């Protein structure tokens, strides 16, 4: 009951934040110089006052700004994000097309980063100042500081071009057709289709870009886990657990890990937010048809509706992730639930 109430509160906060973000994006579009009519309509349409008038009426541009704001919010609530100038398709459709690709890659990358980051962090903390600790710390520093576009190129060169051990760019090998869309995740959709080989192929395509993307976040997670684990291991309650005669493994996993994970969760959440919004370089190098590529193309074409759509999506990512992280805090830490 207490937990449900806590989750409910978080969801209400999320809704309020969403409206706030939409408002800020609206204000920004009004502050940016440029006329939406000239930006969105073609030269031919612009010469026809009827079309211009119809367009203005449709988007409420003939009304005062405050009324426009309510139109904008109304359109958002109807999930109408406008039409892309570049592709002439609804922005929502475009996002629906490219978002699953980004999400699949981001989730894969964050799983790799979280599993190895937490594992390395724990080992590093428990074997403090040992050779293993030094190696793990070196790896995490390299992971954090290596530029992803360079790493991506090197990895492609070595594993795809030289060793031929991994598939190259794209989501699937060219001899496979995309599986019928259910979730938009090729791996899951291939499984639903019952095609194990296609699943394997989609998974293999995830590995190189996924690991490149995971490197940075993994470095952060490793370092955060290590330092939190060290802090927690020297607390009084760990001494109590040891005084109780709990074996080392139980002390680490039952008593320490949960407490040490609380700040790590934030890092994982922020990492996922970064991945969902900012993979422009890696998506471009791996020809990954995701949000990053779409954002890049939209910016190049000054495609305002698309840019607004991507901005809202990225903001939404962070908000949803933060809400999930907040809820998870509450699941792990009873003190948070009370607040």
Among 187, 190, 255, 291, binds another protein (CB under 8 A): 255
Q: If you ran DSSP here, which 8-state letter would residue 178 be given?
A: P
User: Shortest gap between Cβ of 252 and another protein (angstroms)?
Assistant: 13
Q: Tell me the C-alpha to C-alpha distance, in Å, between residue 322 and each of 118, 267, 332.
A: 19, 10, 15
Among 28, 134, 258, 287, binds another protein (CB under 8 A): 258
Q: Binding of another protein at residue 243 (CB under 8 A)?
A: yes
With CB under 8 A as the contact rule, which of the stretches 35-43, 114-122, 178-186, 242-250 interacts with another protein? 242-250
Among 130, 235, 253, 299, binds another protein (CB under 8 A): 235
Q: Binding of another protein at residue 1 (CB under 8 A)?
A: no
Say if residues 333 and 54 touch (Cβ distance below 8 Å): no
Identify which of residues 240 and 287 has a Cβ nearer to another protein in the complex: 240
Q: Binding of another protein at residue 333 (CB under 8 A)?
A: yes
With CB under 8 A as the contact rule, which of the stretches 147-155, 162-170, 235-243, 309-317 interacts with another protein? 235-243
Q: Tell me the C-alpha to C-alpha distance, in Å, between residue 253 and each of 9, 118, 129, 192.
A: 30, 12, 21, 36
Retrieve residue 260's tokens. Answer: 């040490």
DSSP bridge partners of 90: 83
Instruction: Return the residues of window 114-153 that contact another protein according to CB under 8 A.
Output: none
Q: Binding of another protein at residue 247 (CB under 8 A)?
A: yes
Q: Binding of another protein at residue 240 (CB under 8 A)?
A: yes
Among 50, 78, 162, 248, binds another protein (CB under 8 A): 248
With contacts defined by CB under 8 A, how many residues of the chain interact with another protein? 23
Q: Binding of another protein at residue 241 (CB under 8 A)?
A: yes
Q: Which residue, among 134, 114, 116, 115, has the nearest Cα to 124 in the 3D structure?
A: 134
Retrieve residue 17's tokens. Answer: 């934040």
Question: Which residues are CB-neighbours of 245 under 8 A, at least 6 positions away?
Answer: none
CA 95 to chain centre: 14
Retrieve residue 126's tokens. Answer: 């428990």
Identify which of residues 79 and 131 has a Cβ nearer to another protein in the complex: 131
CA distance 172 to 201: 6
Identify which of residues 181 and 235 has a Cβ nearer to another protein in the complex: 235
Q: Which residue, among 40, 38, 20, has the nearest Cα to 28 in the 3D structure?
A: 20
User: Shortest gap between Cβ of 221 and another protein (angstroms)?
Assistant: 20
Contacts with another protein by CB under 8 A lie at: 234-237, 239-248, 250, 255, 258-259, 332-335, 338
């Amino acid at each position: 009951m207490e937990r449900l109430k806590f989750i409910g509160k978080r969801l209400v906060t999320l809704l309020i934040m969403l409206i706030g973000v939409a408002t800020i994006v609206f204000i920004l579009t009004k502050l940016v110089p440029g006329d939406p009519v000239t930006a969105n309509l073609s030269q031919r349409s612009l010469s026809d006052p009827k079309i211009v008038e119809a367009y203005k009426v449709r988007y409420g541009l003939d009304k005062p700004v405050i009324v426009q704001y309510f139109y904008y919010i109304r359109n958002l609530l109807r999930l109408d994000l406008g039409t892309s100038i570049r592709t002439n398709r609804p922005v929502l459709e475009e996002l629906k097309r490219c978002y699953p690709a980004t999400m699949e890659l981001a989730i894969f990358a964050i799983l790799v980063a979280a599993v190895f980051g937490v594992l390395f962090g724990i080992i590093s903390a428990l074997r403090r100042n040992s050779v293993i600790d030094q190696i793990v710390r070196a790896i995490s520093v390299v992971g954090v500081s290596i530029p992803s576009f360079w790493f991506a190129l090197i990895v492609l060169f070595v594993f795809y071009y030289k060793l031929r051990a991994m598939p190259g760019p794209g989501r699937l090998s060219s001899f496979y057709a995309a599986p019928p869309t259910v979730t938009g995740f090729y791996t899951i959709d291939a499984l639903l289709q019952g095609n194990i080989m296609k699943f394997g192929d989609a998974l293999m395509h995830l590995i190189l870009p996924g690991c490149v993307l995971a490197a940075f976040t993994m470095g952060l997670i490793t370092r955060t886990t290590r330092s939190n684990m060290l802090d927690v291991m020297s607390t009084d309650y760990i001494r109590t657990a040891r005084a109780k005669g709990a074996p080392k493994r139980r002390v680490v996993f039952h008593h320490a890990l949960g407490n040490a994970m609380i700040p790590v969760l934030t890092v994982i959440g922020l990492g996922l937010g970064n991945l969902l919004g900012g993979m422009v370089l890696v998506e471009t190098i791996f020809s990954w048809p995701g949000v990053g590529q779409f954002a890049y193309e939209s910016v190049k074409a000054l495609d305002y509706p698309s840019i607004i759509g991507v901005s809202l999506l990225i903001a939404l990512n962070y908000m949803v992730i933060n809400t999930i992280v907040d809820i998870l805090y509450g699941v792990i830490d009873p003190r948070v639930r009370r607040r």
